[in-house]
């Protein structure tokens, strides 16, 4: 009876061991199948046809080196120097007879922009002509008394009076000539008896006519601004730099401007001046930047800009913001891992096109690469790839979200 129990126990033990060994073996087989599957999902290529890329606007490019870290952010607006803007005024009061320009038209310095009428200027011309004729007599009397005084035939007192009268009249005439010239009236024409009752109002600088404040028949005086002229050829940017960043900014540094309300168009410039006093309570200082090249962009005073002042030489790897996508709490970019031609059977016409060099339909394979992002400026974002990438690797610079959605759809399938 005892031997039978021992044999039974041995059989049961052997049977249990076989079951455990079989379970462990099956478990190992399951694990070996799952590991390659997980690895395959992480490295699986995402294929997008050339037709799909064109349809959704996917663009390719490379990782660029951008100066994003060593910058000072500021904002401001475009201005023109005081010498490049002017108010048009009249030196005498009167009635506007003609307005010869329109708002927005370009005028040259010295060009007539309006005609003003004033009857008082007729009296000025009359006084000038009378004084000029009187000066002839005064000059002759001065010469006569001078000769008599030299010959001791006259008295010194009379000679002194004649000299004083002559010098006074000559000074008055020179003053009147200056007045006539300021009113754009020719003294020579007045001397010949040609009087005018209307005078031209001329442009003090070359530029574009701004707001016109007068019309035909308007009465104006010397305090009235008739119109303004702005020369936008010397437009520059006034930026507000705060106290904490002021020590970093110096003349000669490069600046990138973004026109806030002009589709974020970019222009470049250079710092040429820094004010030495604070503007207001927010402790900002005005920094002046010259614009290097506007290209075809039309710049007007008063336009708002955002700016990045380059205060260092450190560069980082950066890609357009559209190249970066977020998924599962991580950040990715897509690199091109290869391409292949469409292997479908083509007709005789398609084969002949391929023979003469026509581009065949291709599918591009993309690989997802995890990155860490940094500073985002000027439409670019700093990246640090978490794995080694091929040199000059092509990446998706626009449309990465579509590639991500296609990858998600493929995984679900």
Interval 326-339: pLDDT, tens:
988 899 999 988 76
Could you give the CA distance from residue 290 to residue 307 in angstroms, rounded to a whole number? 12
Q: Is the pLDDT of residue 212 over 90?
A: yes
**Per the structure block, which two tokens stand in for 62?**
């490379």
pTM for this prediction: 0.53
The pLDDT value recorded for residue 333 is 92
CATH architecture of 71-80+235-310: Beta Barrel (2.40)
H or E segment to which residue 402 belongs: helix 400-412
Task: Indicate the domain borders of the chain.
Answer: 44-67+315-412, 71-80+235-310, 127-195
Closest by CA to 233, choosing from 307, 304, 291, is 291
Could you give the CA distance from residue 370 to residue 333 in angstroms, rounded to a whole number? 6
Flag the least confident range among 86-95, 144-153, 252-261, 403-412: 403-412
The pLDDT value recorded for residue 324 is 93
Mean pLDDT over 60-66 rounds to 88
Flag the least confident range among 7-16, 135-144, 198-207, 363-372: 7-16
Q: Is the pLDDT of residue 3 over 80?
A: no
Mean pLDDT over 203-232 rounds to 92
The pLDDT value recorded for residue 46 is 82
The pLDDT value recorded for residue 228 is 93
Closest by CA to 70, choosing from 297, 221, 210, 245, is 245
DSSP summary character for residue 214 = -
Q: pLDDT-derived band of residue 116, with 50, 70 and 90 as boundaries?
A: very high
List, in sequence order, the alpha helices (H) in 44-150: 50-56, 120-150
Q: Is the pLDDT of residue 173 over 90?
A: no
Report the half-sphere exposure of 7 (CA within 13 A, side-chain side): 4
- Phi, psi angles (nearest 5°) of residue 131: -65, -35
Q: Where are the beta strands (DSSP E) in 90-206?
A: 94-99, 106-107, 112-117, 198-202
The pLDDT value recorded for residue 10 is 45
pLDDT tens for each residue of 247-272: 889 999 999 888 877 777 788 899 99
Contacts of 123 (CB under 8 A, 6+ apart): none
* Percent of the chain with pLDDT strictly greater than 70: 80
Question: End-to-end alpha-carbon separation of the chain, Å?
Answer: 64
* Percent of the chain with pLDDT strictly greater than 90: 23
The pLDDT value recorded for residue 207 is 93
The pLDDT value recorded for residue 220 is 92
The pLDDT value recorded for residue 266 is 81
Class of domain 44-67+315-412: mainly beta
Q: Is the pLDDT of residue 409 over 80?
A: no
pLDDT tens for each residue of 4-49: 444 444 444 444 454 444 444 444 444 433 433 433 444 567 888 8
DSSP summary character for residue 360 = P
pLDDT tens for each residue of 339-386: 665 544 444 444 433 433 344 467 888 888 999 987 777 788 888 899
> Could you give the angle at the alpha carbon of 376 between the alpha carbons of 374 and 377, nearest 5°?
145
Mean pLDDT over 201-224 rounds to 92
């Amino acid at each position: 009876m005892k031997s039978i129990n021992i044999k039974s126990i041995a059989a049961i033990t052997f049977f249990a061991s076989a079951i455990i060994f079989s379970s462990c073996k099956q478990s190992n087989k399951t694990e070996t199948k799952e590991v390659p599957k997980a690895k395959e999902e992480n490295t699986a290529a995402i294929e997008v046809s050339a037709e799909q890329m064109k349809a959704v606007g996917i663009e390719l490019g490379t990782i660029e080196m951008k100066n994003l870290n060593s910058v000072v952010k500021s904002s401001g607006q475009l201005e023109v120097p005081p010498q490049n803007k002017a108010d048009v005024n009249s030196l005498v009061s009167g009635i506007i007879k003609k307005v010869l320009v329109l708002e927005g038209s370009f005028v040259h310095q010295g060009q007539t922009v309006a005609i003003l009428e004033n009857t008082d200027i007729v009296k000025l011309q009359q006084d000038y002509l009378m004084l000029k004729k009187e000066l002839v007599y005064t000059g002759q009397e001065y010469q006569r008394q001078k000769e008599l005084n030299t010959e001791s035939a006259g008295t010194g007192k009379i000679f002194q009076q004649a000299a004083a009268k002559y010098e006074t009249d000559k000074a008055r005439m020179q003053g009147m000539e200056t007045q006539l010239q300021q009113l754009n009236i020719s003294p020579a024409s007045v001397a010949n008896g040609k009087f005018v009752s209307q005078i031209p109002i001329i442009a003090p600088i070359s530029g574009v006519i701004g707001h016109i404040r007068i019309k035909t028949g308007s009465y104006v005086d010397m305090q009235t601004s008739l119109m303004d002229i702005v020369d936008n050829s010397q437009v520059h940017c006034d930026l507000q730099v705060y106290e904490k960043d002021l020590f970093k900014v110096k003349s000669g540094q490069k600046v990138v401007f973004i026109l806030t309300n002009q589709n974020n168009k970019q222009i470049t410039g250079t710092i040429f001046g820094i004010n030495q006093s604070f503007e207001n309570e927010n402790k900002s200082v005005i920094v002046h930047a010259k614009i290097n090249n506007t290209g075809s962009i039309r710049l007007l005073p008063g336009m708002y800009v955002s700016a990045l002042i380059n205060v260092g030489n450190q560069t980082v790897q950066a890609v357009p913001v559209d190249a970066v996508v977020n998924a599962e709490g991580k950040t990715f970019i897509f690199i091109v891992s290869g391409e292949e031609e469409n292997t479908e059977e083509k007709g005789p016409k398609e084969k002949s096109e391929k023979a003469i060099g026509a581009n065949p339909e291709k599918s591009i394979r993309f690989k997802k690469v995890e990155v860490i992002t940094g500073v985002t400026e000027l439409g670019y974002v700093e990246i640090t790839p978490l794995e080694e990438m091929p040199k000059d690797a092509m990446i998706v610079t626009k449309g990465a979200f579509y590639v991500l959605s296609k990858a998600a759809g493929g995984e679900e399938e």
